[in-house]
Structure 1
Amino acid sequence: MSLQYIFLFGRNPKLSYLELASYFSARHISFKPFFMEQRSALLEISDTIDAKTIVNELAGTVKIAEVLFSCKDSELKEKIEAASLYDGTSNKIIYFVEVINASPSLREHFKRHFKMIGIKALHKSLAPHTIAKTKQEYVDFILLRQGNLYYVAKTLACADPFKFKERDVSRPVIEPKIMSSIRLSRMLVNLAGLLPRATILDPFCGIGTVLQEAMLMGFDVKGVELDESRVKNCIENLKWLKESYQLKESFDVFHGDATRLSEYFAKESIDAIVTEPELGPLLKKRPSEAEAKTTIARLQALYEKFFKEASVVLKPFGRIVIVIPRFRTENFKLFDVDIEKILSEADFKIHNPTKGTAIEMSIPQIYKEEWHRIERQIYIFEKYLRH
């Protein structure tokens, strides 16, 4: 029996949906997307899902809720009052209703429902890491309006954003100037669309953020880094990770050059490459046109060499998930790497797991926070065989 679910996303909903689609595709979870509304998406899924595992493994999904019913505006009050919203035994609970694209005043319907069935219910939002500590039962709902229909869903699982921060600050070695975001790194790993036990390579591995997230997802990893001190730091971080989380996954990190991968790895031996490569100099302000042109020319040459080497070591249909920068200058002109030129010289094409579906995302997806001086473009490429 197919069920409908609402997925609530974080700061980057489009990228988060792309991550979700890649994750489901890898695990052969059949789903039918209906629509995306603000930070949420409605999906119909034919398989039974483990919502807690999914929300813990995805970086961009905040909540997963099972749809209890959908109805028109005129039916909403009656439907909520008649629904089975709480099946526990306590007569005192805390609850929260996440309202999307609808009036917050509709929460009053839930308040009346609990009053009618004799439950003292306090409406309050609790952070996921505090739910286990509360002495009262906590129930979470999503009320979503799309067009003339309302969807009422009961939350099955919430993400704990503190798990990323805790892992970030607990590592033996932290290098803020070159560190990839842990949250983005997990998203990049999931965008590769692989099942655990595959081998992921990061040829610009730095201190190992992408590699650690891949290991936590069950992948064996390999890392290449040009800076010898960072190689040592990466190994130290991954040893700490393996011991702290009791991981069985293997890692191999060594000093090397991302433009010489075929010297280190056998032909067609790597399942996927996931990386945030060199993105240019650390910027304190928007660059001038001359600075942007110089940086782009250098990165273009680096990326062209890297992609040619990647096509040698990747297995057929292996993927590259990569961050490619673009620069907006002080006079707001955009300067971008020439991806078409790179693809014309290497055996790759853009891969889009949402292509042709009701919710189709574009690739690349832009990942940019307000404080970022560069715009990160997230690409997924797939190696193809020339005839």
Structure 2
Amino acid sequence: MKYIAVLGRLPKISLAEIQAIYDQNAKLIGPELAVFETNKAVSIDRLGGSIKLGQIFSGNFRELAEAINSKKPEGKITIGVSSYALNSNHKNKKSAVENLVRRKAMELKSLLKKLGRNVRVVEARGPEISSATAFHNNLGEKPGAEEVILVGSETYLSLGVQNIDKYRERDQMRPARDAKVGMLPPKLAQILINLGGEIDESKKVLDPFCGTGVVLQEALILGQPVVGSDLNPRMMEYTQKNLDWLLEKKAHFFKIKPELIEQKNQFLNSIYTGDATDFVWPKASEIGLVACECFLGSPMSKPPVEIKLKDEKQKCKRIILGFLKNLAKQIEDDTPVVIAVPAWLREDSHYSRLSIIDEITDMGYNLAKFQGLSQSDMIYYREGQIVAREIIVLRKSKAKNVTC
């Protein structure tokens, strides 16, 4: 089956996530669009980097009206129509596209009314319906609330939008937060996990720099058991408090698997205090994925001068390479390892990276490749952010053994 994804703020990272989870041949077809094909069950809740998902509809508008009508036999039907750009010329013809969207919405409404249905139209303020408007009108989330997505000559039916309420809940309502250690966005944590690809549901996700437990929280929501560690004992306590909150009070809200809820105490006792460069993780053979934000160095409010940048790079490099060397001795061959490492904004508005790929591969890791993307595309940043994150996706090599 063919699908469309409306991608988030960093579309190339969003594309890599789709390639890792659903289709290694997924590709960009517009500034914010990707298409992919898969026989797997597809859900917007699985993806951290996509805003909307849609499934191809191959019929004409009359057949589309009949399909929508059959999905909800009774009651009022809510519809909306969006048109997304295949290229930048689309935005130059904004008024024409807006007129097309209105005409198509009225055409679909008329066809549904001829089938005897009461119809409410959610109007797009521009060529497309915003994700917030789609979410608050449940478009794509339940039968009888449908968003039609027009992309070139193709028509898609929405499968829903990112649930902004759930992201807000698991970001802002956790009982233990600490801005001093950085605030890893749940969406980024979800992306890091997904970039490791599909893993056995019995295998654990390890975060060796767990901080307040955001990666472990997202792993549990995605259905995986977890283990974590952090150098700071206070972070261990924060993670335990947050995971207890998640599994005790929010399990139903986030639809966490019952078998994971039952293992709550085991997970809380699997959060350790330890230095990632020399810690020995218990039962490392049970680890199916390592996903973490590594040490990012000192917080910065302006681009660092060259001497300061050199010192920061050396400090971060020592910790990150030390961690990866220690990890390689413990995890099984072919285990995916997804890490976020620092990248620093320079005065010329480009990011200076750590450039540690060669040293990492010498340790016994293979760098994952994503179709149509380069490693320089994997920088996660916000506008004006000084310390960004470069995402590196690895697999433990079968060819090399790491010695002390």
SS of 2:333's equivalent in the other structure is: strand
1:363 aligns with 2:375: yes
Q: Which has the higher strand share?
A: 1
Choose from 341, 364, 369 the match for 1:347.
Answer: 364
Choose from 254, 257, 262 the match for 2:275.
Answer: 257
Correspondence for 1:5: 3
Q: Which moved more, 1:158-167 or 1:109-118?
A: 109-118
Q: Which moved more, 1:203-212 or 1:239-248?
A: 239-248
Instruction: Please tell me whether the aligned partners of residues 81 and 112 of structure 1 are also in contact (alpha carbons under 8 angstroms).
Output: no
Correspondence for 2:196: 192
Matches within 5 A, 1:82-93: 83-84=64-65, 86-87=68-69, 88-89=72-73, 93=77
Residue ranges of structure 1 left out of the alignment (5+ in a row)? 25-29, 71-78
Query: Displacement of 1:117 after TM fit?
Result: 4.8
CA distance, structure 2, for counterparts of residue 334 and residue 242 of structure 1: 38
Query: Displacement of 1:286 after TM fit?
Result: 1.6
Residues 34/117 of structure 1: CA separation in 2 closer, same or farther (3 Å cut):
same
CA distance, structure 2, for counterparts of residue 220 and residue 113 of structure 1: 46
Choose from 161, 164, 167 the match for 1:164.
Answer: 167
TM-score by length of 1: 0.83
Query: Displacement of 1:297 after TM fit?
Result: 0.9
Q: Which moved more, 1:322-331 or 1:216-225?
A: 322-331
Instruction: Please tell me whether the aligned partners of residues 207 and 230 of structure 1 are also in contact (alpha carbons under 8 angstroms).
Output: yes
Matches within 5 A, 1:219-230: 219-230=224-235
Correspondence for 1:73: none
Opposite residue 115 of structure 1, the aligned amino acid is S
Choose from 97, 109, 122 the match for 2:81.
Answer: 97
Choose from 301, 316, 319 the match for 2:336.
Answer: 319
CA distance, structure 1, for counterparts of residue 353 and residue 176 of structure 2: 32
Instruction: Please tell me whether the aligned partners of residues 109 and 121 of structure 2 are also in contact (alpha carbons under 8 angstroms).
Output: no
Choose from 60, 63, 66 the match for 2:52.
Answer: 63
Matches within 5 A, 1:118-197: 118=113, 120-124=119-123, 125=129, 126-131=133-138, 137-145=144-152, 150-177=153-180, 178-193=182-197, 194-197=199-202
Opposite residue 322 of structure 1, the aligned amino acid is I
SS of 2:21's equivalent in the other structure is: helix
TM-score by length of 2: 0.80
Corresponding pairs, count: 357
Q: Could you tell me the percent identity over the aligned residues?
A: 23
SS of 2:17's equivalent in the other structure is: helix
Query: Displacement of 1:328 after TM fit?
Result: 2.4
Query: Displacement of 1:210 after TM fit?
Result: 0.6
Matches within 5 A, 1:214-293: 214-244=219-249, 245=251, 247-249=261-263, 250-251=266-267, 252-261=270-279, 263-265=280-282, 268-293=285-310
Choose from 12, 15, 18 the match for 2:13.
Answer: 15
Residues 325/141 of structure 1: CA separation in 2 closer, same or farther (3 Å cut):
same
1:21-79 CA-to-partner distances (Å, cap 9, x unmatched) read 2223xxxxx7864653222222233x2x544xx21122122222221138xxxxxxxx4
RMSD (Å), alpha carbons:
2.7
Opposite residue 16 of structure 1, the aligned amino acid is S
Runs (4 or more) in structure 1 with deviation over 6 Å come to none
